[in-house]
Structure 1
Amino acid sequence: MYTEAPARPPHGEQPPGLLARVADLAVRRRRAVVAGWIAVLVAVVALGTLAGGTYHVDYATPGSESKAASDTLAASFGGRSDDTVDVVWRAQAGATTPAVQARVDRVLARAEQLPGLTRGAAVADAELAPDGRTGVVRVPLDRLPDSVPVSTGEALAELAHDASGTGLQVAVAGGINGLTTENESASELVGIAVAVLVLLLTFGGMVAAGLPLLTALFGIGVSAMLGGLLAAVLDTPDWAAQVAIMIGLGVGIDYALLILTRYRAATDAGRDAHSAVIEAMTTAGRSVLVAGATVVVSLLGLFLMGLPYLYGVALASSIAVLVVLAASLTLLPALIAFAGPRVDSLRIPGSRRRSVAPVDVDATPAARWARAVQRRPLTAAVLSVVVLLAMTLPVAGMRFGFPDAGNDPSGSTTRTAYDLLAGGFGPGANGPLLAVASVGGEPAGGATKLAALRRELRADPDVAGVGRVVLDARQSTALLVVTPKTSPQDERTKQLIDRLRDGPLASAGLPVDLGGQTAATVDQGEVTAQRLPLFIGAVIGLSFLLLLAAFRAPVIALKAGAMNLLSIGAAYGVVALVAEGGWAGQLVGIDSDLPVPPFIPVMMFAILFGLSMDYEVFLMSRIKEERERSGDAASAVVLGVARTAKVITAAAAIMVAVFAAFALSPEVFLKLIGIGLATAILVDATIVRMILVPAVMALLGERSWWTPRWLDRLVPNVALEAPATAGR
């Protein structure tokens, strides 16, 4: 292990700038820094074990009618949820024959003993299909679906399987975990394995490859435990932890890779280890700091959507980014100091040793490519934009909604239940609507109004049936179950919800709220559409201000935002294509046409707009450095592309691998998010950074860096890079 103290700056001077001082301290006090990070990890693991919460969340939309209906149900019917577990059966001899009834009642009697389900359900309460062969008992939950133990779902699936046979088929549907048996996917391990391979190919040695990975894993370990503490004080969905790991792992390896690459370049130029660390931190480290801040700003923009379940996702992901960012800026310099000259040791067989001889960067393939783009900038720009817009086209066919049991794998108990309900009662039976009315202090008059309301609801051509009026114990709240003729994902069902709310329910003479899971999905889609412009505008605006402060060039900041939007549009198009379930979807295990949950495009925008800035900041900061050194905007673009092509390619390959690995997840949310993020990063690092950026910079020339005097006086002087030094 390298322990020799690197040379201090001359005459005891402290390195200028905060990052330089942090790097200097991390190198000189490397043992204390590493020990401090180990102590932090031990402390958060201990605290997380003692005080960590469980992941659960309410997906309802605050202020919506469906949320009001759900709250009224819980208050008036003893904590009853508008979520149910549906026990469905079909018997050729008849759904209510004594033998069948006895077998199904045994299932229901055992089911009501499971945590999360209400008691008292029996075949006597069943809804029967017109042919008399199919029945369903909807057992209300006594808590949010996310809070029902997995063991309950697993036990229900086993009960249904054991009761089936000899002319009876039993299945269970519901939005609780454990009903479907899905193979757990170690997607994080797949992403890490590919990242290790890319790092080994990039650095050629195990020590250099291990430093970025160790830094990222350290940060992920700390942030994962902090995420558990977050779940104890804030409702957080269980998949938020995986999203945070996905983002933290990707950016953590990337940030450390960028800093370590710049460190090795400095040592190649003759710097001692101490000076090389400081140079890496004041150049690549500053770029990493701005890029990380942009990611966090974008993620926190999710709070503008007003959907509480996204708050936990935003905070968990932001914590992951901040922790790995802190690790890259403090732990990594300390680890580099420990490695010292041995950073290139333990080389893999077949790898070429790094040459310290001066390299003619201007003659590299990347430089030749950049010059080729500059010779035909308009053609390159137009073709790039055409390709990106073509990738965006499938967005026109994207359907918003939540996948239901009809999208589950064939043979699963949930898919079987869905098919049985659709076959016996019609597709609308899989998404009943709940009309919750407040009768108040006039039960007699309320009964008349409820009877009239029931008749009006049944008269709608898209209503298959309306259940009997169910009153709570105080006779103050009434519940009517309305069954549409169309499936939950059908556009006609949404139109029915809007029509009922504006028609019979509005004129019932009683306060009536229409709820149920299908109505809740419609409400969330509408709220998302209303708030999306505010969210997008805020994220773009704040990111523009950050880039403006970093580059002091409004054209550069505007260009970055426009190109990020093109990358995100292309990612949306690929997600829409995969969700259609055709050849693209089957590649990742999606074999049916899926609606895209409304929050996925929102989350993708927040994550991608921040992540796309990583390569933008790193590339443009190097171009800015070369321009300030040479004074030639055109050659600066060539040198900037040439000096960053290898590291951006490696960083993008790692991030694409980490994100694409989540396509192996059994959770469709994670599949779509992972595919979208991987697509955007791939597009961003190839079409955008290697073609569109050089082309646009060539078309704009020196005008790219224009800043009006009044703006120059207003913008704070925040230098991304240290002054360029010849030979770097």
Structure 2
Amino acid sequence: MSSALYRLGSWAFRARRTVVALWLVLLVVLGASAGLLQKGFDNSVSIPGTESQAALDQLKATFPQVSGASAQVLVLAPEGADVRADDVAATVRDAADAIADVEHVAAVSTPYIDPLTGDDLSGDAITGGSDDHRAALLTVTLDGPSTTVTDETKEELRAATAALAEALPDGWDATLGGELFASEFPGLTLTEALGVVVALVVLMLTLGSFVAAGMPLLNAILGVAVSMLLVVLSTAFTPVTSTTPMLALMLGLAVGIDYALFIVSRYRELLSEGLDPQEAAARSVATSGSAVVFAGLTVMIALVGLGVAGIPFLTTMGIAGAAAVGISVVVSLTMVPALLGFAGERLRPRPSRRARRAAAAGKAPAPSTTPTRASRFFAGWVNLAVAKPWVTIVVVLGAVVGLALPALNLRLALPDAGVLPESSSARVTYERISDHYGPGSNGPLIITGSVLTSDDPLGLAADLADEMRALPGVADVPLATPNESADTVIVQVVPESGPNDEETAELVQTIRDMRPELQERYDVDISVTGYTAVGIDVSAKLGAALLPFGIFVVGLSLVLLTMVFRSVAVPLKATLGYLLSVLAAFGVVTLVFEDGFAAEMLNVGRLGPVISFMPIILMGVLFGLAMDYEVFLVSRIREDYVHGRDARAAIRSGFAGSAKVVTAAAVIMIAVFFAFVPEGDVNIKPIALGLAVGVAVDAFLVRMTLVPAVLELLGDRAWWMPAWLDRALPSFDVEGEGLHRELSLAGWPGEGTAVAARGLELAPKADVATPIDLEVPERGVLVVDGPARAVTGLLLTLAGRVRPEGGDLKVDDLVLPERAATVRRRAAWLDARRGDARAVDAALREQPRVLVVDHAHHLHGNSHAGAALAAAAQQGTTLVLGTTAPDVLPPGVASTHLLTLPKGE
């Protein structure tokens, strides 16, 4: 990977104008497509496989009058007035008629009209008013779900409500709310921009240049623009909630800035070592870019893993977030080196004052041993962390556990109008209904069942209503009726508790537990549905998905980190640290949104349960971010350890080399996430706060404090890994060791050499103990003879099919094993025991740069095969032939180089 990224970075640096032009063209195309094809956001919540969803779908066919979205208009009288007054009743009836004429309105029920006869009611005959006779509630039923209701219909409902309020006597009021208006579309505010401002300040302090600081911001803005347009465009093909683009924006900004920061900071570091700009850009993309790819992939996999919950809107959010992260990775790997190409030498760090004075005097400056203020700070940090590692571990664990304890009281629910801003008409209506009708009136339940076998549907509906009234926790049963075809009955149940209260969830479960009893007594199979039941089922399904998702994320973490660090202890420690960060984030979110700590300062409108999908999204996103810091910090420590430092000394040197950038990246992440808290959408608020807290805990307490202490305790044991596991797992070279090796071998061998080996050690199965040295020119013919196992082992190694154990090996100027995939494409392999001249022809038709033929003696005497091989050598193909003896080659083929392998011991 590092080699491929090296070439990509070098190309993007050279072709910078082309890269920028391509991204701009893509933006224009996506913008035009999104504008023409987008269908708007869809805030419906579908939860396949749940009782409430199945019952709701059934009602759409059998009882459409009650299956559509609903709105509520509340008429409120001043203190001392009575909603039963005749003039008020007439005014409300006129308003109800006006509302009934609005498009998509199926029915309007008011306390002033008999629901069965349609006759006007007056005086004491009025039903449905509040007990204090100060409130009257109009319920507006629409002909479809909220997603089909147009903005024009909503505006007409608002206008009709405003006209009603105007027509009422002085001091009276009418407000509009209900399910249709229970959620608002999130939008950007200036507060979110503060995160970008903080990011710019941190970037300038870290990179020391306005030009360098602007690159990560420009990179992030481009990535966010592309991902947001893709989200909008995707509405043409699939339902997308309005929260989805906000999540993509938040993630795209954060990771886009951080990923570019890692590359730009490494670029400036390489410039300070004297490299020219193009080489520095290529190497920075190869090294930091490898870590960026790894970090981005982990976030993307975790976000796509949100699909394990089986909830479509959550799956869509995960895919959109993963796409935003993926785009940020691609932009960082292409746009950043292109921008570096435009900046050129301007980003080279200025020499110190001492170096400038020495240069002016014509002397070579003495190396400075004076550490910078930042390096002294981080050196003190790591020295404090590792001085008494057991103390550090206990203190950090105690602090994190203290933050996590409130999470024991974490409750989850879908948000309703009660969490909207206090100025919202829907919020006002919600609270007035709670005050005058009881909190359960904001979330009535619908009990439905098929009554095809009943000869008295009305009586059955009444019996079911009586059963519901007898249950504890039921405030009222205002409606119990069959549909027009008398095949389905509904019973509306108003709980005593609010939609998000635990008591309401318990009531729903109680009613569902009654199903066998009601089936036996009335021969009816009931289901519980409605807006409130749907929310309860969403929360339950998400809660059930947390454990499998957690196992998925933890398992993924262990596998990926083991691949990267070639260690057992480091992945276990990293995964435990991630879990600690998640629990701390849950605890702080509970402390703020349920217990009320700092709620007013953070503009939390109402205390109560946290949005249901907060835990699973936070776990997915924080997993990727935690892996970011683990990789960028620990990979530098491992790099120093691998290059010969003592394990404990490598902790200090590696920490000093990465802590500044990790700190800057974490501060930027925290700023971007926290900026979505004060004025953010109610769905995003707890997620944003949880991510900000999670990043802070993970970066500063876990990765930069707990990790050094644990590594100090483990010493060399931190990097132990069983040999069998090392062989079984693929290598993910995030430190760019492969690239460093390629660069070190760039001058070896000379031009025109096709195959070169120096001190080459084969895998043990080849049974060759002696290191091998050889050089074969282009168009040459290397003949290898000796024991069959040894010959085959060497040929498989030269063809890139088997990994060498040691030494240096190049085939077609490609270093092995680092470039094995490319070598396999350029070097054809043929086992002559299983082929003849036709197999030789087939292999040569691929025009390989190198043709490796094992057991070539099986072609002995085949003149056609010999002629084909000789012609291929003349045309530029290098031949590597394995045989039992050099004198049994195909006719016309003569070796230019002969290697005889010794027999094994």
Task: Tell me whether the two structures share a fold, i.e. TM-score over 0.5.
Answer: yes
Matched, 1:499 2:487: no
Q: Aligned match of 2:41 in 55, 58, 67?
A: 55
Contact 1:112 1:121 (8 Å CA) reproduced? no
Gaps of 5+ in 1: 1-14, 347-351
Write out aligned runs for 1:95-114 (5 A): 95-114=83-102
1:145 corresponds to 2:140: no
Distance 2:104 2:399 in 1: 51
Alignment of 1:340-359 (within 5 A): 340-343=344-347
Q: Matches of 1:559 and 1:85 in 2, distance apart?
A: 52
1:480 paired to 2:491: yes
1:596 aligns with 2:645: no
- The answer to whether the 8 Å contact 1:82/1:517 transfers is no
Q: Give the Cα separation in 2 of the matches to 1:223 and 1:411.
A: 32
The Cα shift of 1:646 comes to 1.3
- What secondary structure is seen at the aligned counterpart in 1 of 2:657? helix
Q: Partners of 2:219 and 2:595 in 1: how far apart?
A: 38
Deviation at 1:608, TM superposition (A): 0.8
Q: Is this contact kept in 1: 2:2–2:734, CA < 8 A?
A: no
Change (3 A) 1:90 1:65: same
C-alpha displacement at 1:178, in angstroms? 8.8
Kindly tell me: are residues 370 and 97 of structure 1, through their superposed partners in 2, closer, same or farther at Cα, counting changes over 3 Å?
A: same
Distance 1:178 1:474, change over 3 A: closer
Distance 2:241 2:324 in 1: 16
- Whether 2:401 is the aligned partner of 1:389: answer yes
**More helix by proportion, 1 or 2?**
1
Among 18, 21, 31, which residue is 2:4 paired with? 18
Work out the CA distance in 2 between the residues paired with 1:181 and 1:34: 33
- The AA in structure 1 aligned to 2:413 is G
- For 1:369, the equivalent position in structure 2 comes to 381
Residue number in structure 1 paired with 2:136: 135
Corresponding residue of 1:7 = none
Range moving further from structure 2, 470-479 or 553-562? 470-479
Amino acid across the alignment from 1:374: V
Report the alpha carbon displacement of residue 490 of structure 1 after superposing the two structures with TM.
Answer: 2.5
Given candidates 603, 613, 616, the residue that maps to 2:627 is 613
Q: What is the deviation of 1:154?
A: 5.3
Task: Indicate yes or no: 2:541 matched with 1:540.
Answer: no
Deviates more, 1:610-619 or 1:151-160: 151-160
Give the secondary-structure state (helix, strand or coil) at the position aligned to 1:553.
coil
- Give the AA of the match of 1:668: V
Moved more, 478-487 or 53-62: 53-62
Structure 2 Cα separation of the partners of residues 664 and 194 of structure 1: 15
Give the aligned partner of residue 4 of structure 1: none
Aligned length: 706
The corresponding residue for 2:411 is 399
Q: Distance in 2 between matches of 1:215 and 1:181?
A: 27
CA contact (8 A) 1:152 1:178 kept: no
1:416 is matched with which residue?
428
1:154-169 equivalences in 2 (<5 Å): 156-157=157-158, 159-164=160-165, 165-169=169-173
SS at match of 2:224: helix
Of 114-123 and 605-614, more deviation after overlay is shown by: 114-123
- State the alpha-carbon separation in 1 of the partners of residues 46 and 180 from structure 2: 15
Counterpart of 2:32?
46
CA pair 116-324 structure 1, distance change in 2 beyond 3 A: farther
> Larger RCO: Structure 1 or Structure 2 (Cα < 8 Å, ≥ 6 residues apart)?
1
* Matching residue of 2:720: 706
Give identity over the alignment, percent. 36
Matched-pair contact (CA < 8 Å) for 1:427–1:487? yes
SS of residue paired to 1:584: coil
Query: What amino acid does structure 1 have at the position aligned with 2:129?
Result: L
Q: Kindly provide the amino acid, as one letter, of the partner of residue 71 in structure 1.
A: D
Q: Which residue is equivalent to 2:711?
A: 697
- For residues 134-180 of structure 1, the C-alpha deviation after alignment (integer angstroms, 9 at most, x for no partner) is 32222123333355445554554554455335253322222334988
Higher strand share: 2
1:27–1:179 CA distance, 2 compared to 1 (3 A): closer
Using the TM superposition, give the Cα deviation of residue 459 of structure 1 relative to its aligned residue in structure 2, in angstroms. 1.4
Is the 1:56–1:235 contact (alpha carbons within 8 Å) kept by the matching residues of 2? yes
1:16 Cα deviation from its structure 2 partner:
7.0
Relative to 1, partners in 2 of residues 1:668 and 1:103: Cα closer, same or farther, differing over 3 Å?
same
| Aligned residues of 2:677 and 2:684 also touching (Cα < 8 A) | yes
Tell me if the contact between 1:579 and 1:590 (Cα under 8 Å) persists in the aligned partners.
yes
Equivalence for 1:622: 636
1:482 to 1:533, Cα distance in 2 relative to 1, 3 A: same
Name the SS of the counterpart of 1:233 in structure 2. coil
1:178 and 1:58 map into 2 onto residues whose CA distance is 12
Q: Is the Cα contact below 8 Å between 2:464 and 2:491 reproduced in 1?
A: no
Cα distance in 2 for residues equivalent to 1:178 and 1:193: 33
Q: Which residue of 1 aligns with 2:296?
A: 292
Instruction: Give the residue type in structure 2 aligned to 1:472.
Output: N
Equivalent in 454, 470, 474 of residue 465 of structure 2: 454
| Aligned residues of 1:581 and 1:591 also touching (Cα < 8 A) | no
- Aligned pairs for 1:226-245 (under 5 A) are 226-245=230-249
Kindly tell me: are residues 90 and 599 of structure 1, through their superposed partners in 2, closer, same or farther at Cα, counting changes over 3 Å?
same
Alignment match, 2:799: none
The correspondence for 1:676, drawn from 662, 684, 690, is 690
CA-CA distance at 1:262 after TM superposition = 0.4
The 3 A distance-change label for structure 1 pair 40 and 191 is same
- Name the residue aligned to 2:758: none
Confirm or deny that 1:435 pairs with 2:447: yes
1:256 partnered with 2:260: yes
Residues 200 and 316 (structure 1 numbering): CA distance in 2 closer, same or farther, change over 3 Å? same
Amino acid across the alignment from 1:17: S
Q: Go from structure 1 to structure 2 and tell me whether the alpha carbon gap of 1:412 and 1:211 turns closer, same or farther (over 3 Å shift).
A: closer
User: How far apart are residue 393 of structure 1 and its match?
Assistant: 1.1
In structure 1, what residue type is equivalent to 2:75? W
SS of the residue 1:62 aligns to:
coil
CA deviations on 1:482-517 (whole Å, 9 max, x unpaired) are 111222232222221111111167524212211112
The match for 2:583 is 569
Residues 549-579 of structure 1: per-residue CA shift (max 9 Å, x gap): 2222122112111101111111111111110
Secondary structure at the aligned position of 2:677 is classed as: helix
When structure 1 is superposed on structure 2, of 369-378 and 321-330 the one drifting more is 369-378
What secondary structure, in the 3-state scheme, does the structure 2 residue paired with 1:467 have?
Answer: strand
Cα pair distance change 1:41/1:491, threshold 3 Å: same
2: CA distance, partners of 1:559 / 1:154? 56
Superposed displacement of residue 675, structure 1:
0.9
Residue 181 of structure 1 and its aligned partner are, at CA, apart by 11
Contact 1:364 1:642 in 2 (8 A): no
Change (3 A) 1:147 1:594: farther
Q: Which residue of 2 aligns with 1:192?
A: 196
What's the TM-score, normalizing by structure 1?
Answer: 0.91
What residue number does 2:771 align with? none
Q: Structure 1 residue aligned with 2:735, among 721, 724, 727?
A: 721
- The answer on 1:176 being equivalent to 2:180 is yes
Preserved contact between residue 127 and residue 137 of structure 1 (Cα < 8 Å) = no
CA distance 1:588–1:236, change in 2 (3 Å): same
Residues of 2 paired with 1:183 and 1:246: CA distance? 12
Q: Higher mean Cα deviation, 184-193 or 107-116?
A: 107-116
Q: Secondary structure at the match of 2:136?
A: strand
**SS of residue in 2 equivalent to 1:234:** coil
Counterparts of 1:422 and 1:583 in 2: how far apart (Å)? 25
Letter in 2 for 1:455: D
Amino acid in structure 1 at the alignment position of 2:44:
D
One-letter identity of the residue aligned with 1:479: I
The alignment partner of 2:675 has SS state of helix
Q: Distance in 2 between matches of 1:582 and 1:140?
A: 36
- Which amino acid is the alignment partner of residue 558 of structure 1? L
1:64 match: 50
Tell me the residue number matched to 1:8: none
Q: What is the DSSP-based 3-state SS (H/G/I as helix, E as strand, rest coil) of the residue aligned with 2:455?
A: helix
C-alpha distance in 2 between matches for 1:178 and 1:576? 23
Please tell me the residue identity of whatever aligns with 1:139. V
